[in-house]
Structure 1
């Protein structure tokens, strides 16, 4: 039987050792009482490492680096402060690679902290808000510690847990973390209108995170029988399912079911997913699998970027010298959409950030997505379909979707695009 932990006397030092790597559910799946106790007891435990995903809390702070090595696959949320302070190391891998890295031990996980929903009548615990890369970690971790949160949604997924899978349990009753609604600007709405015009009835959608995906979902209320297969599921998905727009009725895989790895929204998605078999969470090994994605007909992948160059190369990681994004799952989904029958690989971004153009002659950060994988690039000024286009043709297409005030300057920099003859 697992050890029962008490909130007033929560001591993790007997379970977590110096040199351990600790992983927990990202974003709203974070077991906050456990992670806060871990950080409070860092000096007593001795130096250890944590692997972070999206951080929707400030549990980990720059001053903790005195006792904790901080590693993350992304710079999202509170991770940005850690990166700017110079204490965050980045794991630059595709999201689809995480399960194999964990399973092989190349990315060692010693301790796994989970937030679970209460046990059902059969004594089985739901993983609640996230499955994704937690499943392979369950098989590799030496110690599994669970917060069983009375208010966590009980979701359907690949597996449930029994008492035999857990080493210690802390019972709580608290609202899970939530994401505030994204602020949708005029440019986001214009981008969403362009993308919505490309999406037919029966398409299966994957959406990244942020205002543009939310705006796209809001622009699709007149569609029929849309499906969803995505890494994350937000409030917009719940709203379109309630409205009868997302039915998954035409999906050739997982028909009738919305598939995701993580709930990433507010109580809207948490409450809708609770005890709802029409939403199922799966591991990253499934949600990002190349063959699964390729076999989804009309698979539309919509992801964001920091900047895109005139040849179609994408930087999704670094902005103004700060690590703000991730390699993540964008390339996994874009390649899946490119192989899908009737699929659309889309990168969407506003044409500017302040006074700077986000369509650039030369990237200011790493090449996250190579130009060989370029699909459709969308800004508020239109759609540049780069599929099958030569470098010269791409330059012409990309200039048309750049902000008008930056087009002349971009034309003057065309010579920096390697391998392309000058425009006439």
Structure 2
């Protein structure tokens, strides 16, 4: 049976964590804030630790904590950006679908897991609450599992529950989970969202990435019918569509009647809606991102954003103006899944400019996050470029047509003398 701590201030992490350990914790709204705050406060006593971070919804860690802690992540969003800018964060460039194996068995294997769980049910088992995601598999391989059981965390449906025997330490708390509220879409983002929404067919199953643009697309779908969800995350806008009867999941090939996601990313509005809701099921990354599962979903429509796209269809979703702000993430997993899905649509959407710079470019300013062989539909406020099956010259013409008009001439002049991007 686990050690049970009813007063969080009495948690002594030196009893469970050893110098040199790799520590991982649930990301975004599922971050166990009491445990991560304790880790940071006790870092000098704990010694040198390697910490794996996901998408942050808090500012628990900062560059000042790199005196004893080293940080790794697959992404540069939120407060991770400050860590990276200070040289305190190293990036693991990998597909999201690889994370469970890396953290459970691979070179990033977690020695210690910090989780936030819902209160026990009548059988004494704990729901994983706000995230199944990429840490569920590591529960079985970590040396120590420390759980913050928070009575304000929703009980969500999923195939995995944790019994007391799965836990080494239980810390009881009562505090609001971290929230991720997105800023409202501006007029340009709304125009892009309208373009994307027009591509979505009734009865489609949706995957949507993180950020203001995918959320804006969801808010344009209230006139649609019988939509489904199979995504890495579920948001406030998706909950609104479920409550409005737009997302019913009745046409899904798999998991009919249920919205499937890896984690909840939003506000208390979403958490309340998901609590004990049988129409929402959280699954581990090995299922949400599995290529065969994705390909089996008819009309899987993958909606992801990007930093820039070159004239061959290569996508940079990681680096902007020399700063690591994004991720390889799950975009390639879902774009490939949608491409293999019967009637599926692999969509990348982005504004045509960032300040005075074009985001349709001849040469990417960052890494190739998505190869041109995986290119599908690219959408800006100026239209849709369907690159599927197009040779290079035709791709060039299609992408120039959706670039900002002020940049089209310069883009044409910058091309090779052959007229075909390399």
TM bucket by the smaller chain?
over 0.9
Runs of 4+ in 1 over 4 A off after TM superposition: 416-421
CA distance in structure 2 between the aligned counterparts of 1:52 and 1:230, rounded to whole angstroms: 20
How far off its partner does 1:158 sit? 1.7
Contact 2:314 2:372 in 1 (8 A): yes
Identify the residue that residue 266 of structure 1 maps to in structure 2. 267
Identify the residue that residue 323 of structure 2 maps to in structure 1. 322
Q: Are positions 1:167 and 2:168 aligned together?
A: yes
Identify the residue that residue 3 of structure 1 maps to in structure 2. 3
Contact 1:362 1:417 in 2 (8 A): no
Q: Are positions 1:101 and 2:107 aligned together?
A: no
Taking structure 1 as the reference length, the TM-score comes to 0.97
How far off its partner does 1:416 sit? 8.2
How far off its partner does 1:181 sit? 3.0
Contact 1:182 1:210 in 2 (8 A): no
Aligned length: 421
SS of the equivalent of 2:224 reads coil
How far off its partner does 1:419 sit? 5.3
Contact 1:361 1:417 in 2 (8 A): no
CA distance in structure 2 between the aligned counterparts of 1:418 and 1:312, rounded to whole angstroms: 15
SS of the equivalent of 1:145 reads strand
Distance 1:417 1:387, change over 3 A: farther
CA distance in structure 2 between the aligned counterparts of 1:263 and 1:417, rounded to whole angstroms: 48
SS of the equivalent of 1:13 reads helix
Identify the residue that residue 250 of structure 1 maps to in structure 2. 251
CA distance in structure 1 between the aligned counterparts of 2:41 and 2:298, rounded to whole angstroms: 49
Identify the residue that residue 41 of structure 1 maps to in structure 2. 42
How far off its partner does 1:107 sit? 2.0
Q: Cα deviations across residues 83-133 of structure 1 (Å, max 9, x unaligned)? A: 111110001110011122233333211000010010011111110000011
SS of the equivalent of 1:49 reads strand
Q: Cα deviations across residues 34-64 of structure 1 (Å, max 9, x unaligned)? A: 0011011111011010000001111111111
After TM superposition, the structure 1 = structure 2 runs for residues 121-270 of structure 1, keeping only pairs within 5 Å, are: 121-270=122-271
CA distance in structure 1 between the aligned counterparts of 2:419 and 2:132, rounded to whole angstroms: 42
Contact 2:103 2:135 in 1 (8 A): no
Contact 2:156 2:282 in 1 (8 A): yes
How far off its partner does 1:327 sit? 0.7
Q: Cα deviations across residues 193-223 of structure 1 (Å, max 9, x unaligned)? A: 1111111110000000111111111111111
RMSD: 1.2
Q: Are positions 1:284 and 2:285 aligned together?
A: yes
Q: Are positions 1:303 and 2:304 aligned together?
A: yes
Identify the residue that residue 112 of structure 1 maps to in structure 2. 113
Contact 1:182 1:214 in 2 (8 A): no
How far off its partner does 1:183 sit? 2.1
Q: Are positions 1:12 and 2:35 aligned together?
A: no
Q: Tell me, which stretches of 5 or more residues in structure 1 are unaligned?
A: none
CA distance in structure 2 between the aligned counterparts of 1:420 and 1:237, rounded to whole angstroms: 39
How far off its partner does 1:414 sit? 1.3
SS of the equivalent of 2:378 reads strand
How far off its partner does 1:69 sit? 1.1
CA distance in structure 2 between the aligned counterparts of 1:198 and 1:49, rounded to whole angstroms: 44
CA distance in structure 2 between the aligned counterparts of 1:39 and 1:91, rounded to whole angstroms: 22
Contact 1:260 1:280 in 2 (8 A): yes
Contact 1:208 1:302 in 2 (8 A): yes
Q: Are positions 1:342 and 2:337 aligned together?
A: no
Distance 1:3 1:372, change over 3 A: same
How far off its partner does 1:417 sit? 8.9
CA distance in structure 1 between the aligned counterparts of 2:200 and 2:322, rounded to whole angstroms: 35
CA distance in structure 2 between the aligned counterparts of 1:405 and 1:417, rounded to whole angstroms: 23
Contact 2:57 2:78 in 1 (8 A): yes
Q: Cα deviations across residues 230-274 of structure 1 (Å, max 9, x unaligned)? A: 001000111000000000001010000000001000011111110
CA distance in structure 1 between the aligned counterparts of 2:213 and 2:421, rounded to whole angstroms: 31
